[in-house]
Amino acid sequence: ADEPLILGIETSCDETGVGIVRGHTLLADALASSVDEHARFGGVVPEVASRAHLEAIVPTMDRALRAAGVTLADIDAIAVTSGPGLAGALLVGVAAAKGYALAAEKPVYGVNHLAAHVAVDTLEHGPLPAPAIAMLVSGGHSSLLRVDDLARGVTPLGATIDDAAGEAFDKVARLLGLPFPGGPYIDREARAGDPASIAFPRGLTAAKDLVAHRYDFSFSGLKTAVARWVEGRRRAGEPVPVADVAAAFQEAVCDVLTGKALAACREHGIDTLVIGGGVAANSRLRAMAGQRAQRYGIRVRTPRPGLCTDNGAMVAALGAHLVAAGVRPSRLDLPADSALPL
């Protein structure tokens, strides 16, 4: 009970999250999502997300404090996602954090959303061995990172050059007539399908691509290949085998993600791989990464699915790490930065 009590606020996309942690212990994780409001648009609409955050931030804050059985006065520091993300959405969280910090005279820490996705794993599996490789795969980002220290030493190794992995899941789901966000539906459909039934392309894995884009991803070619294949079936008046398409598509994504993440581990001589972000909830990705990693003596750490998607706990977890590492708080003119680098 000596460790500081940290509150984290997340509003970078469509989830309003407030988490409270003490050290590596999660005390509360309150969430309000605007995902249903975006469903009919097939993607997150920034203006809709900002408005939803405005409406949800105070009630979500209250819920988190109540769930943890504490008051704002008990909190030692407030961490908030200051980027990257949707500008207007980020602004709501940053403004709220500053307001609460000013009112209650608490230090505020602006944190990077990607680093927070990695930090959340410490709530489940304890301190992260250093160095580690982290792979973040969500609707907004697909990145490989080298993590020497969560506070100051997170280095990007590669990222998607077009669609994010989750975006590809969502677009292919739409093509197959599945609801938004499509990742979980593809995951479910794929269980009844044959992953080897259709050979879909593996982006940026050809020898020439491995030189300039060793740790980068590309999913738009795969998405187009799936679209062509499905159109071909429809034009021929044949039924689309949804489960097989889902399984073959998912296999291609997981194959590339796992392959590049493990290559990064091996080439850097690192034996810990952390996978986070919404797509880390994918059952095939979790199984494939675990199986392949075993061959190289690499340990895969993946937070439970509920902590993989955006939430306030991940921000609080990173905040706790920064406070413990003696990092100085942000200034109160901390800006929201939609393209915040690591």
Question: Any known ligand binding at 113?
Answer: yes
Q: How many other C-beta atoms are found inside a 10 Å radius of the C-beta of residue 299?
A: 15
Residue linked to tokens 């061959």: 295
Q: Which stretch binds ligand KG4 (CB under 6 A): 138-146, 198-206, 220-228, 238-246?
A: 138-146
29 touching ligand KG4, by CB under 6 A: no
249 touching ligand KG4, by CB under 6 A: no
46 binds, among ligand KG4, Zn ion, none (CB under 5 to 8 A by kind): none
Best CA proximity match to 54, nearest among 32, 29, 28, 85: 32
Of 132, 281, 300, 336, the one binding ligand KG4 (CB under 6 A) is: 281
187 touching ligand KG4, by CB under 6 A: yes
Q: Which is nearer to Zn ion, 239 or 341 (CB)?
A: 341
Count of residues engaged in binding ligand KG4, rule: CB under 6 A: 19
From the CB of 142, what's the least distance to ligand KG4, in Å? 10
Question: Any known ligand binding at 216?
Answer: no
Of 293, 309, 313, 329, the one binding ligand KG4 (CB under 6 A) is: 309
281 binds, among Zn ion, ligand KG4, none (CB under 5 to 8 A by kind): ligand KG4
Strand ranges for the chain from DSSP E: 5-10, 15-22, 25-33, 77-83, 108-112, 132-137, 142-149, 153-159, 272-276, 299-301
Residue linked to tokens 């949707």: 86
Question: Any known ligand binding at 140?
Answer: yes
- Give Cα 119 distance to the centre of its chain: 11
Q: Which is nearer to ligand KG4, 65 or 178 (CB)?
A: 178
Say how far apart CA 136 and CA 141 lie, in whole Å.
7
Query: What is the DSSP code string of 110-166?
Result: EEEHHHHHHHTTHHHH-SPPSSEEEEEESSS-EEEEEEEETTTEEEEEEEBSSS-HH
182 touching ligand KG4, by CB under 6 A: yes
Which residues sit at the interface with Zn ion, rule CB under 5 A? 138, 310
8 binds, among Zn ion, ligand KG4, none (CB under 5 to 8 A by kind): none
131 touching ligand KG4, by CB under 6 A: no
The residue length of the chain stands at 342
Query: Per-residue x/- mask for ligand KG4, residues 54 to 93, rule CB under 6 A?
Result: ----------------------------------------
Say how far apart CA 5 and CA 22 lie, in whole Å.
5
Say how far apart CA 9 and CA 76 lie, in whole Å.
14
What is the spatial order of strands in the sheet that 299-301 belongs to?
Answer: 153-159, 142-149, 132-137, 272-276, 299-301
HSE on the CB side for 7, CA within 13 Å?
33
274 touching ligand KG4, by CB under 6 A: no
> What residues form the annotated binding site for Fe cation?
113, 117, 310
Interface residues with ligand KG4 (CB under 6 A)? 13, 138-140, 166, 169-170, 181-184, 187, 277-279, 281-282, 309-310
